[in-house]
Chain A
Amino acid sequence: MSEKHLGEKSVSDIITSEILPYLPPGLRRSIALIPKAELDKVHEIRLRTFRPVVLMAGEDEIQPNPPYVFTDDDALMTLQLIACGSLYAFEDDLRQGYITIRGGHRVGLAGRVVLSNGRVETLKDISGFCIRIAHEILGAADRVMKYLIKPPRRLYHTLIVSPPRCGKTTLLRDIARQASCGIPSLDFPGVRVGIVDERSEIAACYKGIPQATCGVRTDVLDACPKADGMIMLIRSMSPDVVITDEIGREEDAIAIREVMCAGVSLIATAHGGSWEEVAKRPALRCLFDGNMFERAIILSQSHGPGTVEAIVDVATGREIASGPLGDGE
């Protein structure tokens, strides 16, 4: 995506203002010395104990100059800063293996797993951090919205399929914004949107208030398990569209069926390289057997994150738009 589509902040500004405060002072100084042009390409920061810090820019790796070796004290301090000195407040997140920090940036964690009755109880001795930088791109969904609208004022049940780091959440957030605000050029009035944001990445809520632009008619259930959240939203907020990220468990599939059968449009994302790959996932099979979804958007990285490879009409299996749909389409 070109920089002209970014929100007000560039990636380097996001790193400086939203990521660096969570890092130890020495590392903050080291990253601040990296040229702005290089920082603008970064999408991930990888911290591994006793190994050099690496910033990922696409497939390229950038290292601070001189290289910064991340120590065990750095790891302790980073964890403490990320958890605001309150590990108890992030117990569920630790169990899932990540903590989402202010701004919707997800920090993946690696360490020693503690089991209880065969299930992950928590993580300890945390030695690896993967900070994924989230940034909203207003207009990311411009190219797909016309294929998702079911006149006069509904959206098709849609599944966005892509491997990690291809811009699923960015696209989903902008779909939520456009559905909520309305699209005058497509004669689509705004509808009530409900977001179940289990990982706090779509709306990037802070103290319950969305920090990302997700529309004027949007209600967000933050940090809520998807399956419970979808049902709660339908009962409490009567949305026209329910939006959720990264479905994959059996209970998600059951809740999705409930939503679809309640006359509410559903837009979700799932990890996968293709539609066929996702359809093979046992937990989601019931959704595909019943052809519950009407549209599928396949994303890839072939022309950078957010490249739309195809939009498929699931009922006929026909590609109604084929990509790659780049910035200029």
Chain B
Amino acid sequence: MVKLLGAVLVVGSFGVIGSVIASGYSERPRQLSALISGFALLETEISYSRTPLSEALIRAKGQKGTVAGRLFEIAACIIAEGDLSPGQAWEAAVRCIYPFSALTPEDREALLAFGSKLGSCSTADQLKQIALVKERLKANETCAREKASETARMWRYLGLTVGAMITLMLY
């Protein structure tokens, strides 16, 4: 009975470890999806009410604690301080959140490219820039989801398999 309980515990533990690693892979598409939603809200703020950038970013930041929320909030604060141009402020914000996110270098490049014209062009151009970054992030998100579903499945199975193997070895 004790052996059976032990076996269940070992298999279960490795299964959980596999699931935890697998969930890490699905984090990137989630963050990309939140960023895309944030940019969609920013688009509305700019096209409909021409809200100034720092305020528009705060309104578009969405859920607190998400990578998109932090990125928009930090950028808004730096812009409001007025010491850096909006482009520089955006770059600083991207570099600040990047190490703590699941984003990859190509996601970072897409975000940095968006900042180059931030706040210094007409509404139409600004909206084009937003459309462009959304498109790039969407393409990255599609790839990330495909990759995540394959890799995540592999890690879940691997966890259970390793657990089962160790149980057999202990028997």
Report B45 CB to chain A, min CB distance, Å.
10
Q: Tell me which of B31-39, B117-125, B148-156, B159-167 binds A.
A: B117-125
- Residue of B50, B53, B123 touching A85 (CB-CB under 8 A): B53
Contact digits for A75-116, partner B, Cβ 8 Å, 1 yes 0 no: 010001101111111010000000000000000000000000
How many angstroms from the CA of A87 to the CA of B122 in the assembled complex?
Answer: 7
- Contact between A88 and B121 (Cβ–Cβ < 8 Å)? yes
Contact status of A88 and B89, CB under 8 A, knowing A21-B82, A81-B82, A122-B122? no
Report A44 CB to chain B, min CB distance, Å.
23
How many inter-chain contacts with C-beta < 8 Å in the A-B complex?
52
- Residue of B79, B82, B85, B123 touching A88 (CB-CB under 8 A): B123
B-side contacts of A80, CB under 8 Å: 82, 85-86, 119-120
Task: Give chain B interface residues in 111-148, CB to chain A under 8 Å.
Answer: 118-123, 125-126
Best-surrounded residue of A84, A88, A122 (most CB of chain B within 10 A) = A88
Report how many residues on chain B are interfacial, defined by Cβ distance under 8 Å.
20
Contact digits for A32-75, partner B, Cβ 8 Å, 1 yes 0 no: 00000000000000000000000000000000000000000000
Closest to B127 in A: A88
- Contact between A88 and B50 (Cβ–Cβ < 8 Å)? yes
How many angstroms from the CA of A21 to the CA of B123 in the assembled complex?
Answer: 25
B-side contacts of A86, CB under 8 Å: 51-54, 56, 86, 119
Q: Counting CB contacts under 8 A, is B46 at the interface? A: yes
Report A91 CB to chain B, min CB distance, Å.
6
Report A225 CB to chain B, min CB distance, Å.
15
Contact status of A85 and B52, CB under 8 A, knowing A21-B82, A80-B85, A80-B86? yes
B-side contacts of A87, CB under 8 Å: 119-122
- Residue of B46, B53, B121, B126 touching A84 (CB-CB under 8 A): B53
Report B54 CB to chain A, min CB distance, Å.
7
B-side contacts of A81, CB under 8 Å: 82
How many angstroms from the CA of A38 to the CA of B52 in the assembled complex?
Answer: 34
Report B142 CB to chain A, min CB distance, Å.
30
Report B96 CB to chain A, min CB distance, Å.
18
Contact status of A91 and B123, CB under 8 A, knowing A80-B85, A85-B89? yes
A-side contacts of B46, CB under 8 Å: 88-89
How many angstroms from the CA of A91 to the CA of B46 in the assembled complex?
Answer: 12
Report B76 CB to chain A, min CB distance, Å.
10
- List 24 contacting pairs A-B, 8 Å CB cutoff, sorted by A: A21-B82, A80-B86, A81-B82, A84-B53, A84-B54, A85-B53, A85-B54, A85-B79, A85-B82, A85-B85, A85-B86, A85-B89, A85-B119, A86-B52, A87-B120, A88-B119, A88-B122, A88-B125, A88-B126, A89-B50, A89-B51, A89-B52, A91-B123, A122-B122
A: which residues have CB within 8 A of B?
21, 76, 80-81, 83-89, 91, 122
